[in-house]
Amino acid sequence: MSLDNVTTEIAQTAARIVVEEGLDWGPAKQRAVRQLALPSRTALPDNEQLEEAVREYIELFCGDTQPQELQALRELALVWMDRLQEFRPHLAGAVWRGTATRLSDIYLQLFCDDSKSAEIALINKQVSYEASTVKGFQGKPVEALSIHSLCKPLNETVGVHLMVYDHDDMRGAMKPDSRGRSPRGDAKALRKLLEESRDE
């Protein structure tokens, strides 16, 4: 099998795992390699290739349910963005890019003048959360505040992860990817996406 075919097969297998099990992209690629009994050092598809495979999988197998699930998650994301608007929240990940299903978590990036201010705001709003450190979009460690929020239309509790960045990290954060797409969007951009999908 050619290298191109191998990476395509890994992408398709990983896409099924992402959609059916809600696994993150990195672990899904690793599991796909194991499932296909390939050597552990096999070249992996890049995220763009995996995203393409995820979109194809959703279209083939979840076309009748996924648009409503995505809509519900985007509406819930907007609720939290409005609650945390003082921290300039931006939506990223599958919910922003349109590949989310009911198993997807919501990833909000907050750009704060003071890194502890978001945590204090959650405490003041009596929202319980778990704090952890994760790799941010610039490759540096950032604090993540994870909360559980009921998504009524899905009747599911959804993970909402608030990644706390410095205000200065906003610079360069809106740089489009190789296809000209923005990797994240603010509440105004999200409202526009919601309106567009209602009009369809």
- Reported as a single tens digit per residue, the pLDDT across 162-183 is 999 998 898 877 778 777 888 9
- Reported as a single tens digit per residue, the pLDDT across 111-145 is 999 989 999 999 999 999 999 999 898 888 999 99
Q: Are 153 and 68 in contact (CB under 8 A)?
A: yes
Size (the chain), residues: 200
Range with lowest mean pLDDT among 80-89, 154-163, 167-176: 167-176
How many whole angstroms separate alpha carbon 135 and alpha carbon 141?
4
Note if the pTM is more than 0.85.
Answer: yes
Mean pLDDT within 45-73: 96
How many whole angstroms separate alpha carbon 147 and alpha carbon 149?
6
Task: Give me the chain's average pLDDT, please.
Answer: 93
Give the burial string for 76-93 (b: 16+ CB within 10 Å, else e): bbbebbeebeebbbbbbb
- Reported as a single tens digit per residue, the pLDDT across 25-57 is 999 999 999 999 999 899 999 999 999 999 999
